[in-house]
Structure 1
Amino acid sequence: MMNLSDSSTPARDGHPDILSAKAWIGKLGGSPVRPQSFAASPVLAIGHFRFDGLAEEVECPKLPFHYISVALGGPLVIEACLGGEKVKGRVLPGQSLIMAAERSNVWRWDRPTEEAHVFLHAEFLDRIADEAGNGRADISDRLAFTDTPLRHTILALTEEMQRPGSISPLFFDMAADVIARRILFRHCQKDGKAGANTAGANTAGALTARQLRRVLSLVEDRLSEDISLDDLAGAAGLSRFHFVRAFKTAVGTPPHRWLVGLRIKRAKELLLSRTTTIIEVASLVGFESQSHFGQVFLSHVGMPPREWRRRALS
């Protein structure tokens, strides 16, 4: 599994769009809260930073991302000028704000704060909107609102970022889809009203048995490699938007959980061979490190791989 933390993978974190998100955080004086403060995929970046009070206005560059944050400090009063429109609000801990991509943005706030935030690529949200039959996504700038599912998703991402190893590409893909659907459903404009968009209401049926066989065949062939949501959707012959719903209807669990389950099942089979080392097992089932594999195995099985093997072979 590819490591996407800020301490490595310069090929992906070095993409100009990703660098623009890091530069934007730096312009506002963000400092890391944890050892792993930033991680990114091509369509989604996540961060966890602390900011001092901003008494003087600071103008930041436009972003190719839609910016969504969750306040973990405060309360604080934020004043901003987004796309030439002045906004002001009192933000409580747990509340969020959204700024659409390509907005001119000037900021000021009255006290230190801590923020968890995501940067969702605008082209990706447009793609999901198009697949949902909604055309171009017209996102709404919003300040000081509460969206519990969105908050939980963002905070889960910041926690996942702290685990040993890496965030898998499929986990990133799924998180990007969940956030995109939530944004489309609750925070986009349609007929002049925010949240009136019907994205996510698609009633696609379950995958057919033939589609499931194709997906399983792809996974079995590439279990030791990174597997993306686009790979799985392509095997089923569906867009990723329709695949996620159809897969969960057929299997009863999201694709990333299903894939982890398959990796653990295969790992158990490999652990029954005394000649295969733990680190070899980890690599064969798609984990980049033994420590990451051990943590995931422990969380699913209830004991470390070495202990499971000892008991299984005794």
Structure 2
Amino acid sequence: MASDVRNTEDTEEVVPSRRISVDGGGRHFALVPHLPLLSSASQQWEGFLLERHVSDGFEVPKHSHSSILLSMQLNASLRLEWKSAFGGHNAVVDAGTLTLHGAASCNGSTWNGAYNRILFELDERHLEHLTEGKFPGAKVEIAEHWSFKDPRLEYLLKVLHDELQQGAPAGRLFGEQVGNAVAMLLAKQYSVVRPYVYRGGGRIPTSRIRKVFDYIEAHLHQDIHLSDLASTAAMSPYYFARLFKTSIGVTPHQYVIQRRIDRAKEMLRNSQMSIFEIGVRVGYADPKHFRTLFRREVGVAPNAFRAAHS
């Protein structure tokens, strides 16, 4: 179920099935200590959760975020106080003022005044999926910002809020497109891009390796550039070359040579094409270079290999 209904003396409160929550003191708790006025939990927008809160001020104890949190004051103003590694800080938060936290620890904050905010919680795995290939060979980490303004983010959050307030009449796809636009803006403008070593002990995922193999097989007759292979794997050339050898056991260049020689051997056994034509078909237009390379890799010249296997 998307939500539960809690009966009180005068009203019915809809309790969302999911809440924007944090970890602190060994327990998991809702970031804002009261029910949201609006929640997108029932909409099942993929990758993010939106809440609207209106309340008096409150204090948030020291905690850690397992996801990315963006929030914005809608109207009125309040005083925000927070602690960081560099001491205490404070700011007056008025309409349109945003705060942003990546998946990291937070030393706590106090909100004094009329708390009237939109909260946008973004799943870090969803951001990783959205940015795949857009920051090749890197991992996107969102930097912390306690008080700033960005008209683009303000507009997008208000569109999501208004859509939710009207019951999401435009449908799930529209909400997800707007939410993904928020996510990509955060990635492009408010991230720290770090080198990314892929999971599994620094190996390229199997699905990406297969794409690279398919690309190589389709282009054996052409010049194959490292940048083309890296782009196929959605990685930077540096990290692709490094992790390809870890994953396969040879460098990309060595692997391409192996596949070209294997293809040449197959054609020598099963066709009547000339040595020159076979060399061209596996990417070596210079017959002398092809013969030298083939002898080095196989131990005999191409014509001797054909004679032994005909």
* TM-score with structure 2 setting the length: 0.49
* TM-score with structure 1 setting the length: 0.49
Larger Rg: 2
Structure scoring higher RCO (CA < 8 A, sep ≥ 6) equals 1
